[in-house]
Structure 1
Amino acid sequence: MTGNEKKNICPLLKNPELYNPDTIDLFNNAKERNYWLPCLEQMVKKFVNKAGYLNPDDPCATEKAEMCFQKFHRLVEELSVDPSILKPLSVRTLLEFNEDNLRANNFKDPWLLQKERESDQALNEFEERIRYIDSIADKEEKWLELTKGVLAGNVFDWGAKAVSDILEQSQNFGLREAMGTIQKRPWFIDNLNAWITRLKKHPYKTSVIFVDNSGVDFILGILPMARELLSHGTKVVITANSTPALNDVTYHELNLYCCKAAQHCPVLKESIASGQLVTVENGQKSPCLDLTNLSSELCSLMKTADLIVLEGMGRAVHTNLYAKFTVDCVKLAVLKNEWLAQSLGTHQFSVICDFEHAS
């Protein structure tokens, strides 16, 4: 999607005229603003120390990252005095500002090296993961394992301090360890049984999945779930960001790793060849999701969908937590920020598995 292409509204929104992507309004909520401004500033500052390591071919990486931080810092100082200078003021718009700032300083994909390393490792484990899932005969147990895989995979988010601290301290933190980190059932929001009941009735016609992080999240979490839907005859549309944002999957990587995973999986290989598995860019440029700003191709594909899956804090908590749809919707996320978790009435690493029937 080019920058001049017309933006499109998600055709599955129940009340598009009332839709607001942002869960928290930082302009009108001073308490939340006083937390999130320094929190996000700290995230941007942390990248300065990693820029050289993540971009070894750029001798100016650290210097450029420092320039990006200083610009973000100035914005935070200005917003502390006058929060009306960024409208709307939200986690989403602040993260968009940061990504635009990085691109303006020629960071085309600053986390690419990290994403490649994690994705290659996850691909080495992919075949074993799908063999294990196929060994589960009970349908309810299988869908529980698939959902836990997506949730545990969603832990691998370099934008969350609680997670980046773990990943930097442990070289052996994988899907199994992440499963032990997240909340045990019953989850904070736990509608999995209702979704499984619906899945057992008849297959969905078309599922649209908005993906989050690369590596373990996408390859060992999302792809096995997509594969199971494909196995039951559902057309699966997987959609990713048009441009890089943190360690999120991009559209380019979506195609690359679907094809690589298909080398280990006949279901994926056949589905790609037949057009039953479709990949598409969503028009987004940040870790959050504004459903009024999608690519036209995605909106066209969504018109026949009867299931939408929103994965991750950026797409299902910071944005779209309260969004309603005309089709069934599943929101899957792990709350990797203690402040955010407490503001919702729970604790860090609590799980949101929210299923809502078409309304």
Structure 2
Amino acid sequence: MAKDIWEKKNQICPLLKEPEVYNPDTIDLLDNENARNYWLPCLEAMVERFTNKAGSLNPDNPEASEIAKICYQEFQDLLAKIKSDPLALKPLSIRTLLEFNEDNLRSHNLKDAWHMQKESESLQAFQEFNDRLIDIDSINDFEEKWQELIKGALAGNVFDWGSFAVSSLLETSTRFGFGEAMKTIERRPWFHDNFDVWITHLNRQPYKCVVIFVDNAGVDFVLGVLPLVREFLSLGSKVILAGNSSPSLNDVTYSELNVYCCKAAEYCNVIKNAISTGKLVTVENGQHGPCLDLTSLSPELCNLIKASDLVILEGMARAIHTNLDAKFTVDSIKMAVLKNEWLAKSLGATQFAVIFRYEPAA
């Protein structure tokens, strides 16, 4: 479906408190010159890195490299306009710049530039999936088990090709895997750490319905999110997984969610039974970029989540670049690893610091 068509049908998140004052963008690049001077060249470098990889990422498309170069030039042209007139893109934010780049790639017929990479990394991650479940099941203590699950979700989120620090590491090291990522997660207390308050609530009263806005394919989703989903299901919760409507970077899409959940069901009866009984549901989120605008969700998602009592936003794009200050009428968790040094410092943290922000229903 064309972007302009399905965006007209999108709706405001029914769980959003005071949507009339909601702003998806944590950083306004129009009013913040220092942030603008950092993020414009940072995002330009990200697009350039993809341009250099486009051919190897899309070996079946002989035009991939040339298309990427054209899109890179058009992105540079936009940045040049913004430097002379910051009102050239409204609103001016990390979200809208990333959406422009993704829409540009699709308009030039490079529809899912990271598909083969996502598929390869996901299949490789599933080779470790069963062992990960066994490790989690070996933990009997409720709080210790959930802390391991949250730490695993954070470690999985490290695998983000949109982050310069991480992509450089992944490109130069063949040994950096889930185990190594677990070691990068800082020891508690984390930079922002409401885990103890949340786990006390969870132990007392499990959630009826949890909606998770997922981030990356591969290790992030398979070894990070799916074990978390499994444990919520084991507590009796219904789980709704919301994935991108359109491809963006290495983010998992709605169509890929279905494939990966069916694959997980081959290893796990809890997930298999949840799919067959409707306790585990996948749905598209209505987004065409890596960020999340809660005033533009798919109607299907809005209908499904009306009965939810916990919202989880995973990853920097959905929980930090956008929605860090969003308030909900139900409990919410915003969790991410700060993989960008400038952003971490702007929040008073260090690179690879952890944010686990639990906010009770407003």
In the alignment, does 2:227 pair up with 1:224?
Answer: yes
Which one of the candidate residues 315, 320, 323 is aligned to 1:317? 320
What aligned pairs does 1:170-181 form with structure 2 within 5 A after superposition? 170-181=173-184
What aligned pairs does 1:171-210 form with structure 2 within 5 A after superposition? 171-210=174-213
Distance (whole Å) between structure 2 residues aligned to residue 231 and residue 180 of structure 1: 27
How much does 1:182 deviate?
Answer: 2.5
How much does 1:183 deviate?
Answer: 2.0
In the alignment, does 2:264 pair up with 1:234?
Answer: no
Change (3 A) 1:272 1:2: farther
Distance (whole Å) between structure 2 residues aligned to residue 191 and residue 176 of structure 1: 24
Q: Deviations over 1:206-228 (max 9, x none)?
A: 00000000000001000100100
Q: Which residue number in structure 2 is paired with residue 10 of structure 1?
A: 13
In the alignment, does 2:25 pair up with 1:27?
Answer: no
Change (3 A) 1:203 1:2: farther
Which one of the candidate residues 133, 147, 151 is aligned to 1:144? 147
Q: Which moved more, 1:175-184 or 1:151-160?
A: 175-184
1:332 partner letter: M
Distance (whole Å) between structure 2 residues aligned to residue 161 and residue 50 of structure 1: 14
Q: Which residue number in structure 1 is paired with residue 331 of structure 2?
A: 328
Q: Deviations over 1:183-223 (max 9, x none)?
A: 22111101111110011012101000000000000010001
Distance (whole Å) between structure 2 residues aligned to residue 40 and residue 84 of structure 1: 18
In the alignment, does 2:106 pair up with 1:96?
Answer: no
Q: Which moved more, 1:250-259 or 1:1-10?
A: 1-10
1:243 partner letter: S
What aligned pairs does 1:149-298 form with structure 2 within 5 A after superposition? 149-298=152-301
Runs (4+) of structure 1 moved beyond 3 Å?
Answer: none
Q: What residue ranges of structure 1 are gaps of 5+ in the alignment? A: none
1:131 partner letter: I
Q: Deviations over 1:138-158 (max 9, x none)?
A: 000000000000000000000
Same amino acid, percent of matched pairs: 64
Query: TM-score, normalization: structure 2?
Result: 0.98
Q: What residue ranges of structure 2 are gaps of 5+ in the alignment? A: none
Aligned residue pairs, count: 359
In the alignment, does 2:113 pair up with 1:110?
Answer: yes
Q: Which residue number in structure 1 is paired with residue 356 of structure 2?
A: 353
How much does 1:171 deviate?
Answer: 1.2
Query: TM-score, normalization: structure 1?
Result: 0.99
Distance (whole Å) between structure 1 residues aligned to residue 124 and residue 201 of structure 2: 34
Distance (whole Å) between structure 2 residues aligned to residue 201 and residue 180 of structure 1: 30
Which one of the candidate residues 26, 33, 48 is aligned to 1:45? 48
Distance (whole Å) between structure 1 residues aligned to residue 342 and residue 80 of structure 2: 21
What aligned pairs does 1:53-68 form with structure 2 within 5 A after superposition? 53-68=56-71
How much does 1:2 deviate?
Answer: 6.0
